[in-house]
Structure 1
Amino acid sequence: MDIDLPYRSEYAKSGRASCKMCKCSIAQGSLRLAALVQSAFHDGKQPMWFHENCFFKKQRPGSVGDIENFENIRFEDQERIKLKIEKSLEVSSSTSTSTSTKKGNKRSAGEGNAIKDFGIEYAKSSRAACRGCEQKILKDQVRIRKTVYTTEVGMKYGGQPLWHHVECFAQLRGELGWLSKGDCIPGFKSLKKDDQTVILKLLPAIDANSGSIIKKAKIEPDVKVEEEIINKQIEKQSKRLFKLRDLVAEQMHKKDMIHLLEYNNQEPASGDSEKMLNQLSDMLTFGSLLPCPECKGREILFSKSGYLCNGQLTEWTKCSNLLIDPERKPCKVPKILKEKYNFLTEIKNKTEKRIVKYNPPSIAVVSKNIDLKKEESTEPKVKRERPPLYNFKFAYVGPKDAEKDLKSRLNKLGGEITTKLSENTVAVFSSKYEVEHMGSRMKKAKELGIHVIPIDYLDLVENSPTNAINYISSTTLCDWGTDPTSRIVQEDVNTKKSKSIYTKSVAKSVTLKIKDGSAVDPDSGLQNVAHVYLNKNDKYSVVLGLTDIQRNKNSYYKLQLLESDSKNKYWVFRSWGRIGTTIGDHKLENFENLNEARQSFLHVYRDKTGNEFNNRDGFVKVPGRMYPIEIDYEEQKTVDSEKFKIESKLHVSVQSLIKLLFDVDAMKRTMMLFDLDMEKMPLGKLSQKQIQSAYKVLSEIYDLIQQNANKVKFIDATNRFYTLIPHSFGVQNPPILDNIDLVEKHRQVLDSLLEIECAYSMLQAENNEKNVNPLDNHYEQLKTKLEPIDKKSDEYKLLEKYVQNTHAETHKMYQLEIIDIFKVARQGETRRYKPFKKLENRKLLWHGSRLTNFAGILSHGLKIAPPEAPVTGYMFGKGIYFADMVSKSANYCCTTTQDSTGLMLLSEVALGNMLECTSAKYITKLPSNKHSTIGRGRTMPDPKESYKKDDGVEIPLGKPITDTNLKTSLLYNEYIVYDVAQVNIQYLFRMNFKYNI
């Protein structure tokens, strides 16, 4: 089922469970309702069970469609639950001027519960954010509460209060379900008279029948009659079914239930006695089901909208085929069971169609299941201008009697007074007298460079709010002070209101201690006293993974057999959970000897994978079980910071470049940008084999897109890809890879991952010589000569002109500033290029790529995508792509306003005879008389202004001209070669991308 439902109903299997509200036990066989919440200890949901009446005091389902297994409870129970849900959602639309009602006019219990979900008060602090405009609600401002039950916190704790500014609440009242006057909100009477007047003005009563709010759809008479007929049919079938169900539950042994199902070629539902009971009673009432036409599975269970196949389509994916009216045959009862259970003699030798009435989930539940990645990037629901001093933190030094009025004025302007002076204090309110006397707090302000300003500053801000920051410098009372803008607290754009409680404190990466090529998991607490047990070539340490989109699972499982470094002692360590979250747990078991520990390790591996550890080289994926992730652990080398003080032989600009190329933090940032999991897949550890397998899966997805394949096949391939390359999605369901853009994005991820792996491997392969600066060691690893070009030289000016002239008009969101240009000579590349030097058509062309890719590019040269990589993203086939417009290649540097440094190459490219194309054409092999491809663009550097070098190489540095008569789908030229030997890297540019914001 695509929708993840938040609630569940069933009849209690035993009397062991207790109600989460009243704490009393729930009697066996009685109806119980659960809120399905994320477990903190495993990758899955756990039910919080309630008595029926207790449930509605803590939870608010939007409809019966929000309740899992609702269709499998008795008809009379369904009707009663439906009525309770409708009542629990009612809010009075009366225009009463009081929240209390007159005698004899009491609200219903449901209405009373619903009105308790609202409240109004003065904000106790400035911590809460408005759910309308997403700005802070400042202390002492009036705020309105709506308690919700569908959020992660609301589900777990029986409601989460969401606060709103009064103005924002007024704009969203239809969505929030408040129709009454403002004075009906609990807490209204505690407000000041002036505030009450404002509330009444902003929140008049709304007529439920007017067009002011979304009305409940009116049911036409014919539809109503038809619905009543269907309900009567369902009621009749339900009574017959539950009569048999009760007899089965009371009389039949489990083994006989299984026997009867198997006798009718049905696969008994596993793991849940209630499911098997439902399955058997359905078969006895309506007939046995024929195997699924998709997967031939025989476990087909009645669900919300039909019969859902629970079989396996592949080892990675469940079938999930939905059958509205499945084929049946009469149920057959063996003679031995008829003799044993008298009621089975009454089973009729015929089939019957089961009536299905689909109850859709509520809008809130459907919205929650929609791709939340998109939701995170949307604008606030309400547009509200920020107060001029929003996020400004001030301090006050002076007489206490003036502080109260100051706080009140500041609050209205969005600022606040804090007692502690820090680097986030924008300014100190005080007087000339306090500055001259220089008390301890004033000395601290001077030490931190905080301006001291008079209270009159607020008059200026009130008159001219836009100049608030400038007035700090112009009204300062002291002779010190740094830039006040640097002290304003910046909101983290990545911290969204929807962020899960299970992802807020996740470690971004872990430091691993390597012993004998393996890392002891730090959670074991044994990394300093034990090592991974090694038997010949067998390392008893595995990381398992499983992504299952249909069940919203993105799980990991780590298993290690640990041996003491000094004593004859052994442990088996296990940890499990959901990738990229705090969800999970671990266990450490102590063993007397190696044999017991080894047997435990082998048993757990077999249980989790369905494979024997000794046969893991021939691993076969088993449905529902986990898959091994290949990780190469090597000794992580650390560099003594003192060695950086050793004088380097490199030019200063080359030193700076090398720091950039081998910046491990930048590599980690790039991996996290791709949503890659840094804990389960530490930097430099994922094996080449695993990455190549992932390329193949992406190629398969590309083929599925071309074939217009069904959704299940995309789910199958996506499960495999995310299992091979662990991604962090928090608690959200991993997105299905079902379009070209996503395939291309993840292809680029794998490309970058290979380059990052290459750079990191170089760092680990270095010999840390005693008297050599580490930067010199890094440089040697590149096997490339890098020589900075004098900025006053003619060569530099010529290349600078190439940059200035060929910045395209459509790429004006940034300007390119050259920081340095380096002459490049890669070891062996000139010799490799020599045969192509004879070709006539040779040009100096641009190539851009992510900064983290360049250590790999300089060490092994520009590469062509591997055969297993998907063809997506390659307009003219797999080759090396170049441009004659600098900004076209610059776009591939993937810089941002925060990371604005990019690297670009100028390479001599032997183009020879070019195959000319004006639209996409996938080239697998060039014609015999062609050496390269050109995608002809409408705009190009003016050929008349090109510069020809003495060796015949053309530098197309002319200003852009546009051929309006050329019929082409390309804006700019693209040049593609299909042999790496046709490229000779000449220059490396270090650029600053100056974004126009």
Structure 2
Amino acid sequence: MSRVGTRSAEVRGKQAMDDEKQLKKQKTGGGGDAKSREQDVKNFHEFVEKLKSNVSEEEARAILSENAQEMDSSISVYEHCADQMMYGPLEPCPSCGGALKFAVHEYTCTGYISEWSKCGFSTKNVPRKKEPLKIPKQLKNDYITKWEQEHDTEKRPVRHTEDSAKPAPGKPFSGMHILLAGRTKRPQYKLRGDFEKHGGKVAHALKEGITCLVVAESDLSSGVYAKIGDARSKNIPVVKESWLQDCLSKNEVLDFAPYLFGAQAEGDKRAAKKQQVDQGVAADQNVDSSTYLTDEIKLAGKKYVHKDSELDKEGGRVFEHEGIVYNCAFSICDQTSGLNHCAAQQLVQVPDGTLYFYHKRGRLATGVPVNERMDEQTDVNKAIHNFAALFKEITGNEFEAWEREKKFTKKRSKFYPVDMDDVCDARAGGLQDQQLGVVAVHCKLDPKVARFCKCLFSQAVYRHAMFEMGINSPELPLGSLSEFHFKRCEECLLEFADFLRKESDSKKHEQMCLDFSNKWFSLVPSTHPTVISDIAHLTELGASVLESLKAISVASHIIGDMTGDTLDDPLSDRYAKLNSTMTCVDKESDDYKMVQKYLEKTYEPVKYDDVSVSIVMEELFMVESSAGPSFEEVDKLKNKVLLWCGTRTCNLISTLAQGMQPAIYNAPVPGYMFGKGLYCTDASCKAASYAFTGVDRPEGFLMLAVVGLGDNVLELPKPEEDVAKYEREKVAIKALGKKLPDSSEYFKWKNNITVPCGALKSSGRDDCTLDYNEYVVYDPKQVKLQYIVQVRYEEK
């Protein structure tokens, strides 16, 4: 067994006895004045140094292992071992059973809640075992033997966590180990000299025990990025050079937070702006989101070459062999560890037959790679082997079992696959701005219908929507996800919702919320993940996002790749795939005037971020869709009502092609309150609130549907406990709101359809949960999409 130090057994034994005598002099318990506590800290640091001189790293690790003290790369072996020897062996984490470690001024857990999440437990009052520290029987070290003989467990000192981080006088950086990366503004040897003069140490490599990596912002070479990636993979903070300069000038250790090397320092201004976004809404209204409309989508789908490889410019294609497409995308989100990363790897073959292996990893919010490489492959079998080996390295799973059978088990701190579809993400395949003017030149559609289609088939619609939902990273093709991936997402969402319905304020509940949130944001990667703590929050960031992603996937299938379309009339080609007929209604017709009256009567200005918005009707389209019931089928139903439906523009293609979709689950928020039904309203302002996106994008679309409520209509101010029974019994719900249209102004339209077109007034009820009436049915055959209303929002 290797040893550190050259002292004889006799000298080391005497040293152990002297050290033990000094420990016995220390006070026990939590008291002691400031001077004695400072002495305790000094004694601890001296003890660490003596361990380093007398005990090998291998021996220290053996002691820790014998006491079930797991190690991670952020822990100094000697400091952790000294902590156990001097203060007593640590109890396991009360939350997850993992090992605890000392970090700056408290003890934190090194364990995991699950395969998705690192444990976030921390405490200043750490639990310790009463029994002595266990020493491995096979360990033969005189220093340790003497220490064991003299150590008195009854007189252990107590570690004062609030003082433990205090360095020796005049040595503010004692115990700190940093690594410098890049060409610093001030020569590295001078920085090193000043830092070490004040107690710190500068390492030569990124290893365990490193306090932080200090990066020269002026030198962001590939070598520096490699170190950044390595540091982040080990959860080591990465800070700017200015942190070290300011620490030296003030002669004190400054907080990392203002100096963390993040999106802005990495030269990605777009990501810096995105950091100002909270839950999808810009905190600073001056933030320009237009860059997200022009960002190049790096990976558009399963069969698309990653743009950063530039092999698409050479005619490269994703390599396929024996039914397997060699292209994978991944993500990982662990908010405790600060991980929110994505990765991609693919084999690409260019026209001359040369095969390349391209892979990239980076932070999701910035897209700046922390690890990127492309290698030419000389042998197909070797290339396939390398691909599978990297897949296993970053996921812990076998590639072929995943690709052929979708067998996959999430591993701790490992990536999870984002399963892609073959189609092109609508953000990449939709019409670009420069195409909008020429695409309709040969279009055979009615000009107004053609303009409507240009909107539906444009990239901007889907880029805006995904930006607003915080899932707009260009690194992953979230607009082209597979049905299998959607199934996994839905399973996670429903399980999470079931958990959140069981109210609890316990610490365990908080941890499970974190764990579920990490799982959700690994499945649906977000540029700003957060901890989801209640079902309303989950509905906003989970259910509505998943429903929109499914709709965008349908749009991606219909749109395809229009950026290089050679068809004479691409608009008519995509329009035919909608399986719907749209007719622009004459503005002088009775239909148009009826809808306009209904819109204006049931609308009241709505405030969005202190901006009051009104609405103007611009066009009306009558719809005949093969996806839903025909008018003749709905006409046979009783109690027919013309009702409003609001939706994002990104969902319209899916609605036209596949019909209206029910809510994914029940939740105590509008649009979900009565379970898995189809929701409509008699207030146009209610529907308009769903279609509104921002004052800078004033266009929007509302839908009007004929709904056959039938005879069995329940009027309820709020849902009953068992909402599932509504779906089972196929009833219709009229959920009463605090405001409703004046029933004296209702009128009958064609085919005995009731139009609840009255001025909004108070219902006079104070037991209503909703602001406006909602109508819910559970059979899609009861709803026939009749009109799409094009509107313009105007700031008042």
Task: Quote how far apart the aligned CAs of 1:963 are.
Answer: 3.9
8 Å CA contact retained: 2:365, 2:527: yes
Select the residue among 329, 343, 358 that pairs with 1:543. Answer: 329
> Counterpart of 1:356?
160
**C-alpha separation between the residues in 1 aligned to 2:292 and 2:731?**
54
> Counterpart of 1:261?
64
- Between the two structures, name the one with larger relative contact order (CA 8 Å, sep ≥ 6): 2
Structure 2 counterpart of 1:955, one-letter code: V
8 Å CA contact retained: 1:338, 1:344: no
Task: Quote how far apart the aligned CAs of 1:293 are.
Answer: 3.0
Task: Quote how far apart the aligned CAs of 1:891 are.
Answer: 1.1
User: Per the alignment, do residues 368 and 718 of structure 1 end up closer, same or farther by CA in structure 2, a change over 3 Å counting?
Assistant: farther
User: What pairs up with 1:118-137 in 2 under 5 angstroms?
Assistant: none
How big is each residue's C-alpha offset from its partner over 1:80-129, in whole Å with a ceiling of 9 and x where there is no partner?
xxxxxxxxxxxxxxxxxxxxxxxxxxxxxxxxxxxxxxxxxxxxxxxxxx
User: What pairs up with 1:115-194 in 2 under 5 angstroms?
Assistant: none
Aligned residue for 1:619, secondary structure, equals coil
User: Per the alignment, do residues 836 and 362 of structure 1 end up closer, same or farther by CA in structure 2, a change over 3 Å counting?
Assistant: farther
Structure 2 counterpart of 1:333, one-letter code: I
> Counterpart of 1:916?
715
**C-alpha separation between the residues in 1 aligned to 2:491 and 2:708?**
31
Select the residue among 780, 786, 794 that pairs with 1:986. Answer: 786
**C-alpha separation between the residues in 2 aligned to 1:340 and 1:312?**
36
> Counterpart of 1:710?
509
Please tell me whether residue 679 in structure 1 is matched to residue 481 in structure 2.
Answer: no
> Counterpart of 2:655?
857
8 Å CA contact retained: 1:767, 1:777: no
Please tell me whether residue 846 in structure 1 is matched to residue 644 in structure 2.
Answer: yes
**C-alpha separation between the residues in 2 aligned to 1:769 and 1:521?**
20
Structure 2 counterpart of 1:234, one-letter code: R
8 Å CA contact retained: 2:701, 2:790: yes
8 Å CA contact retained: 1:805, 1:958: yes
Larger C-alpha radius of gyration, 1 or 2? Answer: 1
> Counterpart of 1:249?
52
8 Å CA contact retained: 2:281, 2:468: no
Structure 1 counterpart of 2:741, one-letter code: P
Structure 1 counterpart of 2:287, one-letter code: N
8 Å CA contact retained: 1:691, 1:725: no
Aligned residue for 2:101, secondary structure, equals strand
User: What pairs up with 1:441-520 in 2 under 5 angstroms?
Assistant: 493-494=286-287, 508-510=295-297, 518-520=303-305
Task: Quote how far apart the aligned CAs of 1:950 are.
Answer: 4.8
User: Per the alignment, do residues 626 and 335 of structure 1 end up closer, same or farther by CA in structure 2, a change over 3 Å counting?
Assistant: closer
Please tell me whether residue 897 in structure 1 is matched to residue 686 in structure 2.
Answer: no
How big is each residue's C-alpha offset from its partner over 1:678-737, in whole Å with a ceiling of 9 and x where there is no partner?
4222363222332332333333443443332532222211211222122224xxxx3222
**C-alpha separation between the residues in 2 aligned to 1:641 and 1:971?**
40
Please tell me whether residue 312 in structure 1 is matched to residue 112 in structure 2.
Answer: yes
**C-alpha separation between the residues in 2 aligned to 1:718 and 1:986?**
39
8 Å CA contact retained: 1:668, 1:683: no
8 Å CA contact retained: 2:298, 2:306: no
User: Per the alignment, do residues 582 and 891 of structure 1 end up closer, same or farther by CA in structure 2, a change over 3 Å counting?
Assistant: closer
Task: Quote how far apart the aligned CAs of 1:667 are.
Answer: 1.3
**C-alpha separation between the residues in 1 aligned to 2:127 and 2:718?**
49
Runs (4 or more) in structure 1 with deviation over 4 Å come to 359-369, 371-380, 503-507, 511-514, 635-643, 765-772, 809-812, 833-836, 869-873, 927-930
Select the residue among 340, 364, 373 that pairs with 1:554. Answer: 340
User: Per the alignment, do residues 891 and 844 of structure 1 end up closer, same or farther by CA in structure 2, a change over 3 Å counting?
Assistant: same
Structure 1 counterpart of 2:337, one-letter code: R
Please tell me whether residue 723 in structure 1 is matched to residue 522 in structure 2.
Answer: yes
8 Å CA contact retained: 2:30, 2:158: no
Aligned residue for 2:654, secondary structure, equals helix
Structure 2 counterpart of 1:276, one-letter code: V
> Counterpart of 2:121?
321
Please tell me whether residue 697 in structure 1 is matched to residue 492 in structure 2.
Answer: yes
**C-alpha separation between the residues in 1 aligned to 2:137 and 2:466?**
65
Task: Quote how far apart the aligned CAs of 1:921 are.
Answer: 3.8
8 Å CA contact retained: 1:815, 1:993: yes
Select the residue among 821, 842, 862 that pairs with 2:620. Answer: 821
TM-score by length of 2: 0.73
Please tell me whether residue 644 in structure 1 is matched to residue 436 in structure 2.
Answer: no
> Counterpart of 1:271?
73
> Counterpart of 1:107?
none
> Counterpart of 2:97?
296
Aligned residue for 1:556, secondary structure, equals strand
User: What pairs up with 1:936-955 in 2 under 5 angstroms?
Assistant: 936-955=736-755
Please tell me whether residue 596 in structure 1 is matched to residue 389 in structure 2.
Answer: no
**C-alpha separation between the residues in 1 aligned to 2:280 and 2:750?**
56
> Counterpart of 2:553?
757
**C-alpha separation between the residues in 1 aligned to 2:423 and 2:280?**
38
Please tell me whether residue 780 in structure 1 is matched to residue 576 in structure 2.
Answer: yes
**C-alpha separation between the residues in 1 aligned to 2:453 and 2:294?**
28
User: Per the alignment, do residues 564 and 766 of structure 1 end up closer, same or farther by CA in structure 2, a change over 3 Å counting?
Assistant: closer
> Counterpart of 2:139?
337
User: Per the alignment, do residues 507 and 552 of structure 1 end up closer, same or farther by CA in structure 2, a change over 3 Å counting?
Assistant: farther
**C-alpha separation between the residues in 2 aligned to 1:553 and 1:904?**
39
User: Per the alignment, do residues 253 and 855 of structure 1 end up closer, same or farther by CA in structure 2, a change over 3 Å counting?
Assistant: same
Please tell me whether residue 688 in structure 1 is matched to residue 483 in structure 2.
Answer: yes
User: Per the alignment, do residues 562 and 864 of structure 1 end up closer, same or farther by CA in structure 2, a change over 3 Å counting?
Assistant: same
User: Per the alignment, do residues 724 and 881 of structure 1 end up closer, same or farther by CA in structure 2, a change over 3 Å counting?
Assistant: same
Structure 2 counterpart of 1:760, one-letter code: S
8 Å CA contact retained: 1:902, 1:990: yes
8 Å CA contact retained: 2:679, 2:775: yes
Task: Quote how far apart the aligned CAs of 1:659 are.
Answer: 1.4
Aligned residue for 2:538, secondary structure, equals helix
Aligned residue for 2:161, secondary structure, equals coil
Task: Quote how far apart the aligned CAs of 1:327 are.
Answer: 2.8
User: What pairs up with 1:11-26 in 2 under 5 angstroms?
Assistant: none
8 Å CA contact retained: 1:906, 1:988: yes
Structure 1 counterpart of 2:399, one-letter code: F
Structure 1 counterpart of 2:117, one-letter code: T
Select the residue among 394, 398, 403 that pairs with 1:612. Answer: 398
User: Per the alignment, do residues 368 and 905 of structure 1 end up closer, same or farther by CA in structure 2, a change over 3 Å counting?
Assistant: farther
Aligned residue for 2:641, secondary structure, equals strand
User: Per the alignment, do residues 645 and 976 of structure 1 end up closer, same or farther by CA in structure 2, a change over 3 Å counting?
Assistant: closer
How big is each residue's C-alpha offset from its partner over 1:633-665, in whole Å with a ceiling of 9 and x where there is no partner?
336878898983654332222111111222222
User: Per the alignment, do residues 796 and 743 of structure 1 end up closer, same or farther by CA in structure 2, a change over 3 Å counting?
Assistant: same
Aligned residue for 2:701, secondary structure, equals strand
Structure 2 counterpart of 1:655, one-letter code: A
How big is each residue's C-alpha offset from its partner over 1:291-348, in whole Å with a ceiling of 9 and x where there is no partner?
3333222x32123444322112211111232342313121133455355445434452
> Counterpart of 2:176?
none
Please tell me whether residue 748 in structure 1 is matched to residue 534 in structure 2.
Answer: no
Q: Which runs of 5+ in 1 are unaligned?
A: 1-12, 14-74, 76-225, 381-491, 497-502
User: Per the alignment, do residues 238 and 807 of structure 1 end up closer, same or farther by CA in structure 2, a change over 3 Å counting?
Assistant: closer
**Equivalences, count:** 644
**C-alpha separation between the residues in 1 aligned to 2:780 and 2:632?**
12
> Counterpart of 1:287?
88
Task: Quote how far apart the aligned CAs of 1:555 are.
Answer: 1.1
Aligned residue for 1:951, secondary structure, equals helix
**C-alpha separation between the residues in 1 aligned to 2:704 and 2:473?**
33
Task: Quote how far apart the aligned CAs of 1:379 are.
Answer: 9.4
Q: Which runs of 5+ in 2 are unaligned?
A: 5-21, 23-28, 166-251, 261-274
- RMSD across aligned positions (CA): 3.9
**C-alpha separation between the residues in 2 aligned to 1:643 and 1:525?**
28
Identity percentage over the alignment? 24
How big is each residue's C-alpha offset from its partner over 1:861-918, in whole Å with a ceiling of 9 and x where there is no partner?
1110246x87755122221111112112111112322111111111111112211111
8 Å CA contact retained: 2:357, 2:374: yes
User: Per the alignment, do residues 511 and 281 of structure 1 end up closer, same or farther by CA in structure 2, a change over 3 Å counting?
Assistant: closer
> Counterpart of 2:269?
none
